[in-house]
């Protein structure tokens, strides 16, 4: 079971943080929107006409709005761990005859019937889950035969600059740990998905100082949710020490913050085949998916 990287995620803290971030999320979610746009663009040439779409980790509804434009006849079910995010997403949907439904739930235990979903979409959510094997088993369970799964998550190189700057201060974990792309592919195979396709892309955001990095993270609710995190406030001297170490990375008057985004794509088999081994996992750029469908 693949639990090592995120086994200590405090779901209550994560939920409370996302609840608090409702008012600021959209302002700070430029990367999140870019990732969704990349995923939706890859779907424009995939021949699928879903009736039921499940958006896992729906947030403020940006993903759902994009999917509704692409599949106007589909019913989109928005599922999120944060009830406040769902309330906010619902308030923005002012259509008289909306095709949306809203569910508060966890990706590790989807409150969805077996084989009831044509298409499961999830962007930058699975990294908040403790048991990735369980997540993909749940995705497989709720998808209909030949249903489509497409998702994005974060790889271990994400925010390595911030992690290394804090490591110079103390040994406590300050940045969540993320799972390698190849381990993600293996988990998909164990869950029974057919020949997953995976890609890893790095995006580097630029900031004026380290406090801009942390402000963006707080703005989307992406705080340190590790159970082993250090409790209490940091002294000004420790924050200064961390900032000084981060400053060593300054180039062209900007500080980098790396995001390693893992994109995944797979189909649910038409029958219950025996799980394959990891040798069947394909890795190539997301744009290649368009030429293979």
The lowest-confidence range among 12-16, 177-181, 200-204, 268-272 is 268-272
Distances (CA, A) of 273 to 67, 68, 129, 270: 30, 32, 26, 8
Express each pLDDT in 134-176 by its tens digit. Answer: 999 999 999 999 999 999 999 999 999 999 998 888 777 677 8
Residue 25 has pLDDT above 70, yes or no: yes
Which domains are delineated in the chain?
Answer: 11-154+178-201+262-292 (3.40.50.150)
Q: Which pLDDT score, from 0 to 100, does residue 225 have?
A: 55
Please give the average per-residue pLDDT across 168-185, as a whole number.
Answer: 84
Please give the average per-residue pLDDT across 125-131, as a whole number.
Answer: 91
Share of the chain above pLDDT 90, in %: 69
Is 278 or 141 the better-scoring residue by pLDDT?
A: 141
Q: Which pLDDT score, from 0 to 100, does residue 272 have?
A: 61
Where residue 124 falls among pLDDT bands split at 50, 70, 90? very high
The lowest-confidence range among 123-132, 157-166, 167-176, 244-253 is 167-176
Residue 270 CB burial class (10 angstroms; 0-12, 13-18, ≥19): exposed
Instruction: Give the DSSP H/E element, type plus range, for residue 243.
Output: helix 236-247
Of 148, 128, 166, residue with least CA distance to 10: 128
Contact indicator for 33, 278 with CB cutoff of 8 Å: no
Express each pLDDT in 54-111 by its tens digit. Answer: 999 999 999 999 999 999 999 999 999 999 999 999 998 877 777 899 999 999 999 9
Residue 183 has pLDDT above 80, yes or no: yes
Residue 279 has pLDDT above 50, yes or no: no
Provide the mean pLDDT of the chain: 87
Report the DSSP pairing between strands 143-154 and 52-56: unpaired
The packing angle between helices 181-191 and 132-142, to 10°, is 40
Where residue 273 falls among pLDDT bands split at 50, 70, 90? low
Q: Which pLDDT score, from 0 to 100, does residue 174 have?
A: 72
Q: Which pLDDT score, from 0 to 100, does residue 9 have?
A: 77
- The pTM of this model reads 0.88
Q: Which pLDDT score, from 0 to 100, does residue 10 have?
A: 79
Q: Which pLDDT score, from 0 to 100, does residue 88 have?
A: 96
**CA 283 to CA 198: how far, in whole Å?**
5
Share of the chain above pLDDT 70, in %: 86
**CA 180 to CA 175: how far, in whole Å?**
16
Chain-centre distance of CA 117, in angstroms?
19
In the DSSP assignment, the letter for residue 231 is P
Name the region of 164 (left: φ>0; alpha: ψ -120 to 50; beta: rest): alpha
């Amino acid at each position: 079971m693949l639990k090592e990287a995120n086994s200590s995620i405090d779901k209550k803290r994560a939920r409370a943080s996302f609840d608090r971030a409702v008012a600021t999320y959209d302002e700070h979610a430029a990367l999140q929107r870019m990732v969704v746009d990349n995923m939706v663009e890859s779907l424009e040439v995939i021949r699928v006409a879903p009736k039921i779409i499940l958006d896992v980790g729906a947030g403020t509804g940006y993903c759902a709005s994009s999917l509704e434009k692409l599949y106007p006849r589909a019913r989109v079910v928005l599922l999120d761990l944060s009830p406040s995010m769902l309330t906010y997403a619902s308030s923005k949907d002012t259509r008289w005859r909306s095709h949306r439904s809203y569910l508060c739930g966890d990706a590790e235990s989807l409150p969805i019937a077996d084989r009831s979903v044509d298409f499961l979409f999830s962007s930058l959510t699975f990294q908040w889950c403790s048991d990735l094997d369980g997540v993909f088993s749940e995705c497989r369970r709720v998808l209909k035969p030949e249903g489509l799964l497409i998702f994005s998550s974060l790889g271990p190189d994400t925010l390595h600059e911030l992690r290394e700057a804090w490591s110079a201060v103390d040994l406590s974990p300050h940045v969540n740990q993320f799972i390698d792309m190849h381990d993600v592919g293996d988990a998909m195979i164990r869950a029974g998905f057919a020949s997953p396709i995976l890609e890893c892309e790095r995006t580097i955001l630029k900031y004026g100082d380290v406090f801009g990095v942390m402000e963006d993270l707080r703005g989307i609710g992406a705080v340190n949710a590790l159970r082993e995190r250090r409790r209490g406030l940091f002294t000004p001297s420790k924050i200064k020490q961390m900032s000084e170490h981060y400053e060593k990375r300054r180039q062209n008057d900007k500080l980098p913050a790396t995001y390693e985004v893992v994109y995944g794509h797979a189909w649910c088999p038409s029958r219950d085949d025996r799980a394959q081994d990891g040798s069947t996992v394909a890795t190539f750029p997301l744009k290649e998916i368009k030429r293979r469908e």
